[in-house]
Structures are given as C-alpha cells and as structure tokens.
Chains A and B, each alone.
Chain A
C-alpha cells in the first residue's frame, strides 16, 4: 500500500515539468508554460506579499506585478538561485515599494495613521482572558511596528508571518546573517518595550 502511494507520488512529480523546463519553454514563446509557473507559485508569493504589506488588495497587486516583472526579465534569470527565490526577491522588493509609497501618502494624510491595519485572525475559542492577551499582544506588536525602520519591518514580518529562518531572510534580502540578526534583535527589543508594561503589571513580575 505504502509502495503504491510512493510510486504514484513519484510518478506525479516526475510528470510535472521542472521550473527550468517551463522557463525555457516560456522564453521560446510558450505562454502556457508561464501559466503553469504562475499556478505553481502564486499562493506562496501572495503569502510573502501579504506578510509584508498586510493588506489583501495590495498583496494581490504585488503578486500580479511580481509575475509580470518576472516575465519581462525572464531572460535575465541566470539560474544561480531557485526560481522561487528569485520570484520571492522580486515580491519583497515590490512590497517594499508599496510600504514606501504608503509612507509617502501618509505624509499628506494625517487621518490615515492606522492604515497599515491588521486583519483580525479568527479566534473562536471562548476564552476571554486569552482573547484580551492576544489583543494586547497584537496591539503591542502593531505599535512597535510603527517604530521600526522599513528594513526592520520587512525582516520582522518575514520572520513573524512567514516563519522564515534568519539565513533564508538574509539570502532573500541580500544581507549578511549578522545584519539580519541585528535588525531583528532591535525590532524585538522595541516590541518588548511595548509589551513590558502590561506583562509586568498583569503577571506581577519584577521589572
């Protein structure tokens, strides 16, 4: 039974064209091949974009722009990294642009302070204390995020929402591991500051 399942899985994987094959076919003018690539990676790219921009509509736009940009520059893809990594880098850059644009727009609209909103996660567990804690934690992280630099924000969000390893983040952003670690440490320090007040008060721990 197990061997049949393994065989089937192998068979399906083997029949799937590799990313490189699809890229070659796309460069040869096969539009359908690029459609397969889109289908393969659009969810992952959307997740990354959403993790950074925290807005569904903007994440959708970033995803679309990412694939169009990837198609336009596909001939420049040299295959030194995985196609997925290359796509993710494009998505991160586009998301950064979105954050930058948003910051620029915010300069001219003071009432848009909470624009970078959070989509409330569905938590249907009937535990009021837990709900309050989750809310406070969320609020603390949100407050702290406003104080983060663009670089810190991207790094923190990739770590927090995407659970990316520090090495992975460093590779995606083209930074050294130590730099990423330092940025993340500063970001966490700011969040800790926001959290410290209510945690200490609630749990009666010495400061």
Chain B
C-alpha cells in the first residue's frame, strides 16, 4: 500500500478537496496518512498564525493615524476646491472686466480704424492713376515735351505736305 508523504499531502491541503479525491480517499482509509495529514495541517496552521492579536493601544493608534491622514486628505481636497473656485471667479471677473473696458473704448477705437483704411487706400488710387492716366496730355511724363507737342500741333497742313 502506497503512503503519501507530507509533500504529497501539501497539495491536498491547499487545493480544492474535489481536485485531490484519490489522495483524500486514501487518507480517509489509512490511519498513518491521516495522522501525517493532521500533523501537516497543524504545522501549516501554526505557521499561518498572524500576530493580529495586538493590544488595544495598537489599534487605537492606527485608527488615530488613519483619521489624521483622512483629515489632511479632506482638507487638501477642500483647499483644492476653494482654489478652483477662486480661480474661476478671477477668470470670470477678468473676462467681464475686459468686456466692459472694450465696450467703453470701442468708439474711439473705430475712428483710427477708418483713417488707417483711407491711408492704405490712397496709394492704391495713385498707383491706378499712374497706370491709367485720366488725361494723357496732362500727365507729368509729357510735360517736358509740351513745346514739341504744341509746335507739331501748330504746323499747317501745307507745310506738312511740302516737307514730305
């Protein structure tokens, strides 16, 4: 008859009972393995003993520490909310103030805008004039040739023919 070692029984101890059915069946029938399993289980339980049986002062101190940390966290979150509100109010005031100032200054801002547009429009007009003169005879370019133009215009038709 094969007996199981503690190493084999370890699996039985930790895994689900239905997953170690052959071992459990054997342990139930075999007194030796039963004793071995009991010893192992006892040892494992001893090992798992947690020092949670602390004095009441330990838990009180821990609770106080937690509550202090919680208070700090709450204060910080409240402070963050407060700072956020102040920032939002400041932003709103800035925007509203800006709007009011803009409204009050708006008329005076409009006039220079018109002047600027005229100033910019003037060169455009002169450029047009240069390109397409309204009266070609009055243009500056023909001023120097005014006498020649006048002479040519006073020459009689007969002299023109003889010269030809």
Binding site for B on A (CB under 8 A): 31, 34-35, 38-39, 42-43, 46-47, 50-51, 56, 60, 63-64, 67-68, 71-72, 119, 121-123, 130, 133-134, 137-138, 141, 156, 159-163, 166, 181, 184-185, 188, 191-192, 195-196, 199-200, 203, 205
Contact = CB atoms under 8 A, between A and B. Distances in A.
B16 interface: yes
Given A137-B47, A159-B14, A192 B69 contact: no
Contacts of B130: none
Interface string B62-74: 1101110111011
A interface majority secondary structure = helix
B15 interface: yes
A205 B59 contact: no
Nearest to B66: A67
Contacts of A205: 3, 5
A195 B6 contact: yes
B46 to A, nearest CB: 5
B98 interface: no
A130 B47 CA distance: 13
Contacts, number: 110
B interface majority secondary structure = helix
A31 B71 contact: yes
Contact of A50 (B5, B51, B63, B77): B51
25 contacts: A34-B70, A39-B63, A46-B52, A51-B48, A56-B51, A64-B62, A67-B66, A67-B69, A67-B70, A68-B66, A71-B73, A71-B74, A121-B49, A137-B44, A137-B47, A156-B14, A160-B48, A161-B50, A181-B15, A188-B11, A188-B14, A195-B6, A196-B7, A199-B6, A199-B7
Contacts of B95: none
A145 B10 CA distance: 15
B10 A50 contact: no
A56 B54 CA distance: 11
A133 B59 CA distance: 34
A184 B5 contact: no
A166 B63 CA distance: 31
B16 A166 contact: yes
Contacts of B50: 47, 50-51, 161
Nearest to A159: B14
Contacts of B67: 31, 34-35, 38
